[in-house]
A and B are shown apart, each in its own frame.
Chain A
Amino acid sequence: MKEVEYNLTLEEDILAAMRRPRPIYWVALFISATFFVTGMASWFYQMLKGMGVAGINNPVGWGVYITDFVFWVGIAHSGTLISAVLFLFRAKFRNVFNRSAEAMTVFAVMTAGLFPLIHLGRSWFFYWLFPYPNQRQLWVNFQSPLIWDVFAVSTYFTISVIFWYVGMVPDLAIVRRIAQGVRKKFYSIFSLGWTGSIKQWLHYNRLYMFLAAFATPLVISVHSVVSWDFAMSIVPGWHTTIFAPYFVAGAIFSGTAMVLTLVIPMRKIFRLEKYITKDHFDKITKVLLFTSLIVTYSYITEFALAFYGGHKFEEAHFLYRALGDYKELYWMMIFCNSLLPLSLFIRKLRRSIGYLFVISIFVNIGMWLERFVIIVSSLSKDFDPYNWGLYHPSWVEVSITLGSFGMFFMFFLIFTKVLPVLAITEIKEEAAE
């Protein structure tokens, strides 16, 4: 096929996703919006009644909210991995995933950013987290990991949005050419008057490269900082040096699973089979398998450190984690994150789309459980037996958690109708080579 024809069909196929939605889309949007609204209402209820409506107690002061925060920040990471790290490694298979993965990053960070606010209790004072000149002449404590978090997550959000937007400008110009009426105006503004002149491409490519180079260490720093929220304390089960790489690997693992969860239905619904092929899935699944192995290795190392370290409390904690009150969750986590992904060593399974979808759901569940197990089991049994206690999420916490999933999927659904779902320009460039 001639290049121009190929490019035209490419544009048509991908932009077809943006046409008037089918009923199934409205149903999906309605369901996720309902969850979102219910979650927001629950948050409002919590603000009216106070933190007592959440299940968190003494000693378990961090519960599902912090679990959700770590989970969503983790989900975000794979978007940056796919768009920035694989870009620097010139891994071409990223081209079909990067747009949706970056969208996922932005939405996941937005969702994650809500949870510290929900957890604050007096959410309306959230701006105290930022250092700004104030009447009380106070500054934030820059030695606190929680303040590092503020800087890390807000930087991450800003850079992810810029990276996502910059990558999209040439594609928005394509949509501008095809769209009509008000939509044309909208895309004209957001494509900034892009023409595709050589000067623009020259600066554009440099910018993209620099942003990728910034995003790569950034993504590692963000989840390291999140892990230090735990590791900087002296609570048994948290106070270990492997936390940063362990969390980063876990983040990429869960994020890759979420990419599969989102892209597999998207490919089916928008008939993108021609562009997102089984080879692409085969490759991204190898990333999933590899990070699963790192995570499994970290699980083993954690135990090895506890028993080799000769620290009584650490030892007791890890026995408790595997055999105590939350043991079912722990073993479910091992099954979802360590055992099930081993099946991906079989090539046939890596190329079976249905199987990948199922496994991606299991990994999502497993990674959520991982954070829950780490947070709750450590807090429920610390040094002083008088201070031990258990934690169960209340309905408010469950509702807000489901609401966060609703919010994430709602944003993603809107994204598929408003913006081009695949990086058209990059696929053109790849096809031309």
Chain B
Amino acid sequence: MSNKFVFEEKEKFLHKLEEVVKSGVSAKDIEIFTPYPVHEAEEVLKLKTSPLRFFTLLGALSGLIFGFLFTIGTSIDWPLIRGGKPIVAIPAFIIVAFELTVLFGGVISFIGFLILSKLPDVKRIIDPEEYGNQFIILIAKEGRK
């Protein structure tokens, strides 16, 4: 069994959360659920910034590189002079590369979000856990990791 505290107000919830943290319970053992993002709670628990940014960076860079490689590669593959312009016309390709940067960056960020937050959660889809508009603090039993 774990300890569960239920609050209807944000202030009381935060107050209790601070108390729990001060009493020496490690942040790993505390699970909280809120109806909307509560940034103060992140500070109290001293959570690190989400590693999502690495997914975003990876996606954006791969989109950028792919965008240039693809446009340049296909132009060289079929080297047809168009409108008297160079075959590899970088300024024109910047636009395609930019769009692919955004596309890959956005899609991979979204996938990263799903992986990091462990969604979709099939167990919860079948049997959703509802906390309504309440603020919940769950403390795992001491000694249990």
For A210, the chain B residues whose CB sits under 8 A away are: 52-53, 56, 105-106, 109
Instruction: State the Cβ distance, B131 to closest chain A Cβ, in Å.
Output: 6
* Chain B 113-145 per-residue mask, 1 if CB under 8 angstroms from chain A, else 0: 110110111111110111111100000000000
Instruction: Decide: A202 near B78, CB < 8 A? Known: A4-B134, A148-B95.
Output: no
* Residue of B32, B52, B83, B95 with highest tally of chain A CB at under 10 A: B95
Stretch at the interface among A185-193, A281-289, A408-416: A185-193
A155-B99, A159-B102, A193-B124 given as contacts; is B36 within 8 A of A141 (CB)? no
Q: Is A77 in the interface zone, CB < 8 Å from B?
A: no
CB contact under 8 A between A2 and B33, given known A143-B89, A193-B120, A207-B110: no
B82 at the A/B interface (Cβ < 8 Å)? yes
**Contact check: which of B10, B50, B92 meets A143 at CB < 8 Å?**
B92
Cα separation A152 to B89 with both chains bound (whole Å):
18
Given A195-B129, A198-B45: A425 touches B35 (CB 8 Å cut-off): yes
**Is the pair B113, A203 in contact by a Cβ cutoff of 8 Å?**
yes
Interface string of A133-156 (1 = CB under 8 A from B): 000011111111001100110110
Q: Are B120 and A192 in contact, with the CB atoms below 8 A?
A: yes
In the assembled complex, how far is the CB of residue B14 from the closest CB belonging to chain A, in whole angstroms?
Answer: 11
A195-240, CB < 8 A from B: 195-207, 210-211, 214-215, 217-218, 221, 225
Number of interface residues of B (CB under 8 A): 64
B103 touches A155 (CB 8 A): yes
- Give A contacts to B, CB under 8 Å: 2-4, 7-8, 11, 131, 137-144, 147-148, 151-152, 154-155, 158-159, 162-163, 166, 170, 173, 176-177, 188-189, 191-207, 210-211, 214-215, 217-218, 221, 225, 425-426, 428-429, 432
Contact residues of B with A, CB < 8 Å? Answer: 8-10, 31-38, 41-42, 45, 47, 49-50, 52-53, 56, 70-71, 74-75, 77-78, 82-83, 85, 89, 92-93, 95-96, 98-100, 102-103, 105-107, 109-110, 112-114, 116-117, 119-126, 128-134
Known interface pairs A3-B9, A139-B78, A198-B33; 9 further A-B residue pairs with C-beta atoms within 8 A, sorted by A's residue number: A131-B74, A147-B96, A158-B107, A192-B114, A195-B131, A207-B52, A207-B112, A221-B99, A432-B10
Sampled A-B contacts (14; CB under 8 Å): A7-B133, A151-B96, A152-B99, A162-B110, A193-B123, A194-B119, A195-B33, A201-B38, A204-B37, A204-B113, A206-B52, A207-B110, A210-B109, A221-B99
